[in-house]
A and B are shown apart, each in its own frame.
Chain A
Amino acid sequence: DQQVKQNSPSLSVQEGRISILNCDYTNSMFDYFLWYKKYPAEGPTFLISISSIKDKNEDGRFTVFLNKSAKHLSLHIVPSQPGDSAVYFCAARGRETSGSRLTFGEGTQLTVNP
């Protein structure tokens, strides 16, 4: 079963506008949520995270929002830049997990047009 889902395989936005990437989860035992960015021929790189005890975390142009009641999180990128074009993965860690095991979503290809 897919415990972390990203329902939009792709998203296209104009440079300077806001990009909103969404992620839904089903496991209430997840305690940390992370967003990774992946360029072609490279491994995913950590972007931003949020603990389940918070509802918002901000880092520069990137903000992650967590709605625990809806089991939904979103990543906002403002303003979007062409260099942000990449695949974005949402990931989660289970509270009961020892070690670094993460559950990933399917990914969303973001394209920022100049």
Chain B
Amino acid sequence: KAGVTQTPRYLIKTRGQQVTLSCSPISGHRSVSWYQQTPGQGLQFLFEYFSETQRNKGNFPGRFSGRQFSNSRSEMNVSTLELGDSALYLCASSRDGTSVYEQYFGPGTRLTVT
């Protein structure tokens, strides 16, 4: 079956702009988590959505937001971009979010803020 897809794969934005990233989970998966990966920081948890509701939230400012649609596709939005937001944004999907072994990651969206 098809894996987790993320669009776009690469994005260049300017400071102060906003950006929306998309994640389509594996068919049948209802949980989508988002992570930010930067060099030296590893993957930092942003938030998790399950059945259109935010279930967990990491320690990121309010400029980072997300949502999930009825078909389980998820979007994350970053407003008023800063240079430090340059990172690889990964999403992961799982059936119901209770089994950590069944979390599958997408290839990520590489965001560059200039």
Interface residues of A (CB under 8 A from B): 4, 6, 9, 32, 34, 36, 41-46, 49, 89, 91, 93, 97-107
Return B61 CB to nearest CB of chain A, in Å.
Answer: 17
In the complex, besides A43-B105, A43-B106, 15 extra interface pairs with C-beta distance below 8 angstroms are A32-B100, A41-B107, A43-B107, A44-B90, A45-B104, A49-B100, A98-B97, A99-B98, A100-B100, A101-B45, A101-B56, A102-B45, A102-B100, A104-B44, A107-B42
Return B99 CB to nearest CB of chain A, in Å.
Answer: 8
A43 lies within 8 A of B45 (CB): no
The interface size of chain B toward A, counting residues with CB under 8 Å, comes to 29
B42 lies within 8 A of A100 (CB): no
Interface SS majority for chain B = strand
B42 lies within 8 A of A105 (CB): yes
Determine the distance from Cα of A6 to Cα of B43 in the docked complex, in whole angstroms.
12
Interface: B70 (CB within 8 A)? no
A to B CB contacts below 8 Å, 19 in the list:
A4-B42, A43-B90, A43-B106, A43-B107, A44-B43, A46-B101, A46-B103, A93-B100, A99-B31, A99-B55, A100-B48, A100-B94, A100-B98, A102-B43, A102-B45, A102-B100, A104-B43, A105-B42, A106-B41
